[in-house]
Each structure stands twice: as structure tokens, then as C-alpha cells.
């Protein structure tokens, strides 16, 4: 794609029409299953077919979002959906799940794939991994600055970059949030987010809604995004009303075309939906309290007047497809009109009657061009009109109008019919997993306060930022030391690379990688990669993909039940988190800082919800983790991990003495007293 693209949301058929008529180059939408916005109106199969035809007739691309995490039993149904989409065909499919990626590269290698923002891509290494995996476009994390986007583009200029230009901001990095799942059993990774972050959460001295961000709006600054390397400007809002879609699309269209956006339209865009205004904090690299906001009563009341005006933006068809019309008028022959577009389609039609000798005034090229150019109410714009007219002939205006209508209808029908994308069913070999005879235990520490009891573990994880001298001390004390890479590497890839190279040179070659960004960087450095829970592995096909990628082993998603996790197939060793405060969010904007700037925390501070429940917040690798109020503990139940090779104890806020006690209980497989949770291992998620 050489030119820029305005990409608009279509939560349902009316929003689709609003987006197209307001000037979108492409729309993204979901079917009624496997979409990350399950709460949107979405599209049935017939509606999807109608939508694709409608858009293609008007030169608009359709991106189908199949961007949820999938379970083994869901894979056949999702492949049927994609096969149907290929028959239409859609122009691209957005993917989060690497298992689906693994299957689609085999079923339909010609299908264009875009990596969803749900895959948390935010560093050059992550984009390199996407390109190598066969994606043609990466939808970047919302938290990236313009400078970081430009660095990605300079590093990997041959892959398209898509970035959000307007709409809601999640507090968590997309794909790294389990808040809704843990508190209500509704997985944001599976399209069921309950928007827990919009509820009151208070940091000491904070706003009272310290997980709720204002909406992003970079529409007036599209040129800066373009200069940074962005080619697709994505408007968030599949859950929003058509008026919102139309306003954001029209404003974005005008800015992309270099036009000045009317102040009234910008005001209407703010009124139709905002959270006390907009923010550009992430693109500007300026975080903090001013980025936070909520939907107020005044915001809601201001929407009514705006909506009535905004309906006008999509009431009429937008004539947007340039065509060349060619009229031929010859004596004794039917009048002929052809229409051709720039995509190679061509239609021709001729009149039922012959031209007559002119009684008063013969038709002229100007006369014919005037009437043939009246394409209003159609998707077409008469860019060029060519007339071949013999002298002294007359053709009624009604004949010209009839020819114009019929030839454009024929051309429109041609444009709506495109060749299917080949799809060949594929089924990977379901090899049963052979587990180790004894469950190995691993322990993760957020610092270097490691009790001696950890020496019994198969390995310990400590931050890769620890100096090699301290790593060596831990090794001399009997620890098998592995290094934890940060899940958030915003602008820090070079620094992390240097830390890993120094550790590797000192003999430490095993690393934990929680995103594709860090896994790719470790792969390029020739390290042994141990995948983390935040890779979101939920099916056997994903295990196959990561086996080919080069992982040594991986933790599975803790959104799986024990039964689901134990049933996964494949040769890649796998394990589960068995102890620790589960990370509910990975955030670049620290909520604790709302109480007075960065506190350079060495101990966790807390957020308090409306029920007075406290959630610790702990910084790691330049980002913050919002942790669960109570720890997960499967201690005393480790025998139930019958399909797992290892279990991980993930320490966060515990004292060194508490860590030692938990380790002792783990090796004895005795239960932990006090308030604990089994997480989602028995109840699962939607």
C-alpha cells in the first residue's frame, strides 16, 4: 500500500455505511464469533457477504477481525469462518492467536494477514518477528510514542504500520490484561471485556479513576504519524454509534487529504463521545495525571445535538470511484456507452433505439458530457468523458440517462465480484504430549532477594537488569539462574539487548520472554528462550507455532482451566503458574504516579477499588503491573497438573521470609494458609 489509509470501525451494517459514505479507505469488522469486540452488533455470514460486496463496489477494503484467543475445540469453527471469508473475499484478516496464524499459513497462504494490536507489538524486534511470520502489517500498541514508531519504521520499512489515530485508550497494553477475566470471568483476550478499568480505582492522592484514560485523538496531527512511518490511521470504535464513526472518519479523511477540518466538526467529534476531552500523551511521550478522564454527565448530554448534525455526513452516497465514460453515437447504429474504472473493470451497454437526424439542434459533446456526468447517488465519479458523435444526430436525454444508469449498475456489479482466495483444509498432527515423570518447580523473583530455599528449584528467574556480578553470586550459591526480560520494551530494546549480551558473555544464556518482542530479540541473540504466560498460549496449534519459532518451553495462559491445559498436545514442554499474585494489567502509565509523580517505588503501592479491596502495583522494566488482591495458590493440588512439565512460583510483593515459606510448602505440596484464589483453573472464562 503506497498511499495512506483511513481505517474505520464497523460494529454493524449502519456503521459500515457511515464509514464508507464519510470517506473511509477501509473498514474493519467482526463476524458474530471470534471477534475482540463480541459486544458489538457485528455481522452474520450473509451480512458479511453483503458488506464485502458493498465495500468492494465502492473501492473500500474490508479487514475481518478474527483476533481472539482460541481453544482447541474452537479451531475447526474458526477455520470454517476464515474459509467463508476467503470465498467472498475479504482483503485481510487480523490475527492475535499464533495457533490460528500457524493454521492459516498452511490453509490459505495467499490470504493477507495483519497482526492485531492484541499481540502487544511495540518494539522493533516484535515487528521483525511479524514480518518473518508472514504478516504484511503490524497494528502497533497504542502506548508507543511518535519517536518509537519512527524507530520501528526505520528498522523494518517493508512492513506496513497501522496505528490508532482516534478513540478509546485501554489502561493496559492490549493483550496484556486479565482484569476482566479474573474479576468477572469475562476475558478481554476473547472479546468479552467488561471494562473493569472504567470503575473507580483510587491511588493515594489520585483522581479516583486511576485506571481510566481519556480517549486519544491525533486526527489534527495525522501528518506527524505519517512522517513517523504510519500508513494506516485506525479509528477505534466498533462499539460506538454510526454518528461517531462518521464524524471521526470524515475528520480523518479531510486531514489525510490535506484539508482543513471545520471547527464545528471537531467540536461535534468531541461531543459525540469523549471522556472530558482527548489526550495525545502517548504519541508525545508525556505520561501522567492529565491523561486520565471519565465519561461525565456533561459529556453524555452534549452528544444529542451533535448526533443530529452528524447524520448528514452519511445520509447520501459518496461518489468516490473515478470512471471513464465513453459514448459512441453513429448514424444507423444503437448508441453505445462504456464505463471503465482504474481496477480493470469495464462495462458496455447500447440503446434499444437508433439516433435520429436532428430536426432543430444536433447533440454536442458538451451536451452529452453534462448529462453523463450526473453520477450523484452512485458510488461513481465521472473523471473523464469521451464522446464520439457523428454530426447532425439527435439522442433524447432520457436515452443518455438510461444508458448512464445501466452501465454504471453493470460496472458496480462487476466490482462487487472478486475471485476467491484459495483455501485448502489442513489438520496438524495431534501428537500426545509426553510429560516429565516429576513436575519441576521454577521460581520468579522481581529483585535479587532470593532465599536459599530456591536452590532446590529447577531454575530461578531474576531481572535481566541485574549486574553479571550479582548473577554470578546467585549461581555460586547453587541457583540455576535464568533472566527475565521485561514484557514492556517501549524504547528500551537496545538497552535490553546490551544487558543480555553482557549476561550471555558471562555465561547466562537462558531467558524468559513474555511477548513476541522479547522472544524475537532473544532469538536473534542465540539465547535459550522460555516462553511466558503472557504469550497467551491457549491451544495446541500455538504450541506448534512456538516450537517452530524456537522456544525451549513455555508457560501456558492462566485463562485456561486445568482440564483444558492438561489436554493440549504437541512436543513443546509446557507449564502453569502455580503461585503468586496474578498480573491483572501491564501499564505504561503508572496509576500510582497520579498521586504525585513517579515515586521510584522499591515496594508496591496499592490501588483501592469501590469495595475497599486493595490491588498492589509494582514496577518492572519501565512499566507497571497491577497485581491481584490475593495470590493464586495451587499448592497442595500439584498432582492435578497432570499434563504439565513444570510449575512456576511468581513472587512479587512477598518478603524474603515469606518467599522461603512458600518454597518450603511448594516442595512438600502442602496448601498455603490464608486468603488465596485458584484463579481461573476451575471456573474458566467466557
Q: For a pLDDT cut of 70, what percent of the chain falls above it?
A: 99
The helix/strand/coil state of 523 is: helix
Spatial distance between the Cα atoms of 18 and 8, rounded to a whole number of angstroms: 9
The set of cell numbers assigned to 220 is 489534527
pLDDT at 26: 98
600 pLDDT higher than 80:
no
Please work out, in degrees rounded to the nearest 5, the angle formed at the alpha carbon of residue 426 by the alpha carbons of 422 and 430. Answer: 170
Strand duo 160-167 + 215-217: pairing: antiparallel
User: Whole-number mean pLDDT of the chain?
Assistant: 96
Q: How far is CA 160 from the centre of its chain?
A: 14
Angle between the N-to-C axes of helices 13-22 and 242-256, in degrees from 0 to 180, rounded to the nearest 10: 20
Contact 651, 446 (CB under 8 A): yes
- C-alpha dihedral (156, 251, 318, 257), degrees to nearest 10: -50
Rg (CA), the chain: 29
Residue partners of 8: CB distance under 8 A and separation at least 6:
19, 22, 24, 26, 27, 28, 235, 245, 248, 249, 252
DSSP one-letter code for 72: G
pLDDT at 437: 83
Please work out, in degrees rounded to the nearest 5, the angle formed at the alpha carbon of residue 367 by the alpha carbons of 363 and 372. Answer: 115
The stretch 141-155 carries a mean pLDDT of 98
Spatial distance between the Cα atoms of 104 and 112, rounded to a whole number of angstroms: 10
Kindly report the length of the chain: 686
pLDDT at 305: 83
The set of cell numbers assigned to 600 is 521510584
Residue partners of 427: CB distance under 8 A and separation at least 6:
none
1 pLDDT higher than 80:
no
Closest CA to 529 of 468, 563, 573: 573
Spatial distance between the Cα atoms of 576 and 650, rounded to a whole number of angstroms: 10
pLDDT at 25: 98
Spatial distance between the Cα atoms of 167 and 237, rounded to a whole number of angstroms: 6
Q: How many CB atoms lie within 10 A of CB 598?
A: 11
Spatial distance between the Cα atoms of 177 and 195, rounded to a whole number of angstroms: 11
Strand duo 26-29 + 5-10: pairing: parallel
> Could you check whether the bond before residue 89 is cis, i.e. omega within 30 degrees of 0?
yes
Closest CA to 626 of 292, 203, 168, 275: 203
| pLDDT digits 0-9 by tens, 327-337 | 999 999 999 99
Strand duo 605-609 + 380-389: pairing: unpaired
The helix/strand/coil state of 458 is: coil
* Complete DSSP assignment for 552-616: SEEEPPTTS-HHHHHT--SSS-EEEEEEE--EEEEESS-GGGGGTS----SS-EEEEETTS-EEE
Look-up: residue for cell 493515594?
204
Look-up: residue for cell 500523551?
281
**pLDDT band, very low/low/confident/very high, at 599 (cuts 50, 70, 90):** low
416 pLDDT higher than 60:
yes
Contact 544, 99 (CB under 8 A): yes
The stretch 420-425 carries a mean pLDDT of 97
Contact 128, 122 (CB under 8 A): no
Spatial distance between the Cα atoms of 33 and 37, rounded to a whole number of angstroms: 9
E strands present in 153-279 = 160-167, 201-202, 215-217, 232-235, 278-279
Spatial distance between the Cα atoms of 63 and 368, rounded to a whole number of angstroms: 40
Q: Go through the domains of the chain in sequence order and give each one's CATH number.
A: 5-169+214-314 (3.20.20.70), 174-212+585-630 (no CATH), 321-415 (no CATH), 440-581+634-668 (3.20.20.70)
Beta bridge partners of 216: 167, 279
Angle between the N-to-C axes of helices 75-87 and 45-57, in degrees from 0 to 180, rounded to the nearest 10: 30
For 44, counting Cβ atoms within 10 Å of its Cβ (0-12 exposed, 13-18 middle, 19+ buried), the class is exposed
E strands present in 358-458 = 380-389, 393-394, 440-444
429 pLDDT higher than 90:
no
What number of H helices and E strands is found in the chain? Answer: 21, 30
Phi, psi of 91 (to 5 degrees): -90, -20
Spatial distance between the Cα atoms of 283 and 164, rounded to a whole number of angstroms: 10
Mean pLDDT is lowest, of 245-259, 453-467, 561-575, 584-598, for: 584-598
The stretch 501-515 carries a mean pLDDT of 98
**pLDDT band, very low/low/confident/very high, at 602 (cuts 50, 70, 90):** low
Contact 457, 663 (CB under 8 A): yes
pLDDT at 561: 98
The helix/strand/coil state of 110 is: coil
| pLDDT digits 0-9 by tens, 52-71 | 999 999 999 999 999 999 99
The set of cell numbers assigned to 455 is 536452590
Spatial distance between the Cα atoms of 116 and 516, rounded to a whole number of angstroms: 12
The stretch 583-609 carries a mean pLDDT of 85
pLDDT at 603: 67
pLDDT at 2: 59
Look-up: residue for cell 490501588?
607
Q: For a pLDDT cut of 90, what percent of the chain falls above it?
A: 93
435 pLDDT higher than 90:
no
Q: How many Cα atoms are found within 13 Å in the side-chain-facing hemisphere of 454?
A: 29
Look-up: residue for cell 472478486?
418
Secondary structure of 308-361 in HEC code, one letter for each residue: HHHHHHHCCCCCCEEEEEEEEECCCCCCEEEEEECCCCEEEEECCCCCEECCCC
Residue 581: C-alpha distances to residues 5, 553, 576 (Å): 42, 22, 14
Residue partners of 542: CB distance under 8 A and separation at least 6:
97, 98, 99, 102
| pLDDT digits 0-9 by tens, 71-99 | 999 999 999 999 999 999 999 999 999 99
Closest CA to 37 of 17, 5, 64, 76: 64
The helix/strand/coil state of 111 is: coil
Longest dimension (CA), the chain: 109
Q: How many CB atoms lie within 10 A of CB 350?
A: 15
**pLDDT band, very low/low/confident/very high, at 39 (cuts 50, 70, 90):** confident
Residue 287: C-alpha distances to residues 137, 279, 514 (Å): 27, 10, 24
Amino acid at each position: 500500500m503506497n498511499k495512506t489509509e483511513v481505517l474505520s470501525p464497523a460494529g454493524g451494517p449502519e456503521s459500515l455505511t457511515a464509514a464508507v459514505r464519510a470517506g473511509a479507505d477501509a473498514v474493519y469488522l467482526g463476524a458474530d464469533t471470534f471477534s475482540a469486540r463480541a459486544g458489538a452488533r457485528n455481522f452474520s455470514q450473509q451480512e458479511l457477504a453483503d458488506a464485502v460486496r458493498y465495500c468492494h463496489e465502492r473501492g473500500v477494503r474490508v479487514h475481518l477481525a478474527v483476533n481472539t484467543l482460541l481453544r482447541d475445540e474452537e479451531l475447526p469453527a474458526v477455520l470454517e469462518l476464515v474459509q467463508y471469508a476467503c470465498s467472498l473475499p475479504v482483503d485481510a484478516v487480523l490475527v492475535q492467536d499464533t495457533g490460528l496464524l500457524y493454521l492459516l499459513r498452511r490453509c490459505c497462504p495467499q490470504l493477507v494477514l495483519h497482526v492485531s494490536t492484541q499481540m502487544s507489538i511495540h518494539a522493533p524486534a516484535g515487528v521483525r518477528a511479524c514480518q518473518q511470520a508472514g504478516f504484511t502489517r503490524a497494528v502497533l500498541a497504542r502506548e508507543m510514542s511518535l519517536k518509537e514508531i519512527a524507530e520501528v519504521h526505520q528498522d523494518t520499512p517493508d512492513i506496513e504500520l497501522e496505528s490508532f489515530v482516534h478513540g478509546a485508550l485501554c489502561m493496559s497494553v492490549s493483550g496484556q490484561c486479565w482484569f476482566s477475566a479474573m474479576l468477572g470471568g469475562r476475558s478481554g483476550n476473547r472479546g468479552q471485556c467488561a471494562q473493569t478499568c472504567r470503575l473507580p480505582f483510587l491511588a493515594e492522592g489520585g483522581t479516583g479513576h486511576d485506571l481510566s484514560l481519556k480517549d486519544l485523538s491525533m486526527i489534527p496531527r495525522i501528518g506527524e504519524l505519517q512522517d513517523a512511518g504510519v500508513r494506516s490511521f485506525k479509528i477505534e470504535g466498533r462499539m460506538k454509534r454510526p454518528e461517531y464513526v462518521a464524524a471521526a472518519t470524515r475528520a480523518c479523511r479531510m486531514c489525510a487529504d490535506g484539508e482543513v477540518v471545520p471547527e464545528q466538526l471537531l467540536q461535534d467529534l468531541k461531543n459525540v463521545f469523549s471522556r472530558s476531552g482527548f489526550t495525545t500523551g502517548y504519541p508525545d511521550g508525556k505520561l501522567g495525571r492529565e491523561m486520565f478522564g471519565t465519561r461525565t454527565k456533561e459529556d453524555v448530554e452534549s452528544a444529542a445535538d451533535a448526533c443530529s448534525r452528524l447524520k448528514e455526513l452519511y445520509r447520501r452516497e459518496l461518489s468516490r470511484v473515478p470512471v471513464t465514460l465513453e459514448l459512441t453515437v453513429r448514424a444507423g447504429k444503437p448508441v453505445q456507452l462504456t464505463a471503465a474504472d482504474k481496477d480493470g473493470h469495464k462495462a458496455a451497454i447500447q440503446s434499444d433505439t437508433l439516433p435520429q437526424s436532428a430536426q432543430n439542434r444536433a447533440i454536442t459533446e458538451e451536451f452529452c458530457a453534462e448529462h453523463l456526468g450526473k453520477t450523484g447517488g452512485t458510488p461513481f465519479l465521472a473523471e473523464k468523458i469521451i464522446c464520439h458523435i457523428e454530426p447532425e444526430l439527435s439522442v433524447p436525454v432520457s436515452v443518455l440517462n438510461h444508458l448512464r444508469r445501466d452501465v454504471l449498475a453493470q460496472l458496480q456489479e462487476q466490482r462487487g465480484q472478486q475471485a476467491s482466495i484459495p483455501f485448502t483444509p489442513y489438520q496438524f498432527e495431534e501428537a500426545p504430549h509426553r510429560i516429565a515423570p516429576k513436575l519441576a518447580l521454577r521460581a520468579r523473583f522481581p529483585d535479587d532477594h532470593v532465599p536459599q530455599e530456591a536452590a532446590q528449584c529447577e531454575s530461578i528467574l531474576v531481572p535481566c537488569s541485574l549486574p553479571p556480578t550479582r548473577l554470578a553470586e546467585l549461581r555460586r550459591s547453587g541457583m540455576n539462574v535464568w533472566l527475565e526480560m521485561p514484557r514492556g520494551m517501549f524504547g528500551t530494546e537496545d538497552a535490553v539487548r546490551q544487558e543480555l549480551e553482557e549476561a550471555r558473555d558471562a555465561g547466562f544464556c537462558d531467558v524468559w520472554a513474555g511477548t513476541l518482542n522479547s522472544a524475537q530479540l532473544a532469538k536473534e541473540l542465540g539465547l535459550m528462550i522460555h516462553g511466558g504466560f503472557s504469550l497467551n498460549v491457549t491451544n495446541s496449534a500455538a504450541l506448534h507455532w512456538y516450537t517452530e519459532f524456537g522456544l525451549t518451553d513455555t508457560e501456558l495462559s492462566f485463562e485456561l482451566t486445568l482440564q483444558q491445559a492438561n489436554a493440549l498436545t504437541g512436543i513443546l514442554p509446557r507449564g502453569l503458574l502455580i503461585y503468586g499474585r496474578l498480573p491483572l494489567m501491564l501499564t505504561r502509565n503508572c496509576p500510582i504516579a497520579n498521586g504525585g509523580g513517579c515515586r521510584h517505588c522499591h515496594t508496591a503501592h496499592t490501588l483501592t477499588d469501590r469495595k475497599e479491596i486493595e490491588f498492589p502495583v509494582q514496577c518492572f522494566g519501565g512499566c507497571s503491573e497491577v497485581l491481584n488482591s490475593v495470590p493464586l495458590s495451587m499448592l497442595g493440588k500439584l498432582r492435578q497438573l497432570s499434563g504439565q512439565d513444570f510449575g512456576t512460583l511468581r513472587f512479587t510483593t512477598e518478603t524474603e521470609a515469606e518467599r522461603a515459606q512458600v518454597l518450603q510448602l511448594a516442595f512438600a505440596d502442602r496448601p498455603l494458609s490464608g486468603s488465596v484464589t485458584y484463579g481461573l483453573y476451575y471456573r474458566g472464562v467466557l
